[in-house]
Structure 1
Amino acid sequence: MLGLQYFSFADLWSPLILAATLLLAAGYLLLVGPLAQRFPGSAIVPVRQRVLFMGGLLALYLAQGGPVSLLGHILFSFHMVSMALSYLIAVPLMMLGIPDWCWRTLLKVNSLRRLSFLAHPVVAALLFNGLFSLYHLPVIHDYVMLHFAVHRLYYGVLFLTAALMWWTLINPLPERRKVGSLGQIGFIFLNMVLLTPACGLIIFAGAPLYATYSDPSAWARAMGYCVSGDPAALLRTFGGPAFFGGLSPKVDQQVGGIAMKFIQEFIFASMLAYVFYHWYKKENRQDDADTSAPSGELGDGFLTRV
């Protein structure tokens, strides 16, 4: 399917990344299992929370080491699916899978405390969306795709900034929550708006933007970092990315932009509905409590809310 049969097991499943993923999974299970008692305030981590972390880890592996990663080097549409899996799905799932006592221990590290300003909602939103949009400028994207060390470094920075961005929405520590429900709603809208220009550029461009998906020579060089063999042999065998899909580079690019925007809108719209629902329930409970309270208490409650 989609030409995957032409590649080896190692090309499709990246054994080194698979081994690193399995080691990370084992380390997590040790941390929340036998080693948990070494941390102050530790408690049993529910199965549901462990499943969330493992699901996020699986999504990250598929996007960065599995077949989706390989397809992301062949077709731009799969590249955008890989980006969505990595930063909009894997990151929040893994963060939700980390228990609160782990977060408290981690945030006691002095160097991290000095960088806490990076988790400010506006700063975090601008950092992630800015770096994501910058990456999809054609000259930046092609350079990153054609330089392996820069590629890995940039993706690592995107992962960290995605975690900073998601912290505002899924922070499990009440004592560190600085944004209420209305603030979270505004934060979600901010993220939805900030990613729109990059997706719009990709969707409405009149011609293919990226040499690594339209120029066979650049494509073969980029493929040389994720599959075994000589890039020149890849070029002789397949002729370019057009061999693997029925879409032209321009249409493939448009599909990728639409897919990214749709996935982002769906995820953030779901978060928006969740935050709004719980905010609405909380306000209704507060109103009911004020209505049933004696007159003196009603006045105090009203002043507190104001």
Structure 2
Amino acid sequence: MLGLQYFSFEELWTPWFLFGMAAIVILYFYVIGPWREKHAPDEPKVTLLQKTMFVGAAVLFYLVQGGPLSLLGHVMFTFHMVNMSVSYLIVPPMLLYSIPSYVWRRVFSHAWWQKLRFLMNPISTLVLFNLLFSIYHIPVVHDYVMTHFALHRFYYSVLFVTALMMWWQIVCPVQEWNRLTDLKKMAYVFANGVLLTPACALIIFASTPMYAIYSDPQVWVQAMGYCVSGDPSRLLDMFEGPQFFNLMEATEDQQLGGIVMKLVQELMYGIILSYIFFHWFRREHKDDELPNTNTGTV
């Protein structure tokens, strides 16, 4: 049970967050259903796969940001990296794919969005996401963010937006807004993998615990104050610290977390690269597949 039995239902499942995600799912089905029929009847219906992807993204995001995995991310670094992987490498492309193009066109149709167009430059989005992600995993930054709730929510929100901006270049849901060719997309995905590697390597090959939140009981209790009700110091009377929940040493947990992050990154980027490559290959060889219609004689 990983110690989850010691926490209440509210602490594990965060009902207010659950209701919020449920409301977003309901809004999604309203937009692709009654709203589309009234305001965009000529637009194609959303496919079953798109609906499944959106609901799946909502469920995953809830589990890692408001469900049990979120709490576990405060006691084990491995779960923290699982949460980061799901939040920024898996959920964003699922959302971009699942939301139909006419919604994106309607949302970004206002002229004032043009003033922020420079932020969507592929190089800017590439550097911005990976820079923010890497800075976050500098030990002093990570511990400070994790122990200051308002900053924690703000940083996570900004990181999620920049993840969407980065993934937009790869799985752009609006065809006419697509800036990159398939070959450039493959290079873009490869560059993402390269830029994310130093942060993962630093974590994987560290020989000592880097993050106080997973090794110092006092810092851990301060961070847990945002997950549990009442005085979080009571946790020290019940447990000796985060080590109570972890079968591994802090360094081993830290290394496993880095490995998990790198593996998920490689898996996602590998899948995306394969899809882009086969899409490019089929398009480039489409003419070769056409039957020879030249029936003339020489």
TM-score by length of 1: 0.92
Spell out the pairing of 1:195-234 with structure 2 (5 A cutoff): 195-234=196-235
Counterpart residue type for residue 21 of structure 1: M
Q: Deviation per CA, 1:203-230: give whole Å up to 9, x if none.
A: 1112111111110000011011011121
> 2:123 aligns to what SS in structure 1?
helix
1:239 corresponds in structure 2 to 240
Spell out the pairing of 1:79-158 with structure 2 (5 A cutoff): 79-158=80-159
Spell out the pairing of 1:167-182 with structure 2 (5 A cutoff): 167-182=168-183
> 2:285 aligns to what SS in structure 1?
helix
Contact 2:60 2:91 in 1 (8 A): yes
Give unpaired runs (5+ residues) of structure 1. 295-306
Counterpart residue type for residue 209 of structure 1: M
- The reply to whether residue 18 of structure 1 matches residue 15 of structure 2 is no
CA distance, structure 1, for counterparts of residue 154 and residue 270 of structure 2: 30
| Cα deviation, residue 293, structure 1 | 8.6
2:277 corresponds in structure 1 to 276
Q: How many residues align?
A: 293
Contact 1:39 1:101 in 2 (8 A): no
CA distance, structure 2, for counterparts of residue 190 and residue 292 of structure 1: 41
Indicate the larger mover: 101-110 or 258-267: 101-110
Counterpart residue type for residue 271 of structure 1: I
Cα RMSD, aligned residues only:
1.5
Runs of 4+ in structure 1 displaced over 6 angstroms?
A: none
Give the structure with the larger helix fraction.
1
TM-score by length of 2: 0.95
Give unpaired runs (5+ residues) of structure 2. none
Matched residues, percent identical?
A: 47
| Cα deviation, residue 111, structure 1 | 3.1
1:304 corresponds in structure 2 to none
Contact 1:208 1:250 in 2 (8 A): yes
Indicate the larger mover: 85-94 or 156-165: 85-94
Contact 2:96 2:173 in 1 (8 A): no
| Cα deviation, residue 127, structure 1 | 0.7
Contact 1:62 1:68 in 2 (8 A): yes
Q: Deviation per CA, 1:239-292: give whole Å up to 9, x if none.
A: 101000111111100000000000000000111111111111111124556x95
> 1:254 aligns to what SS in structure 2?
helix
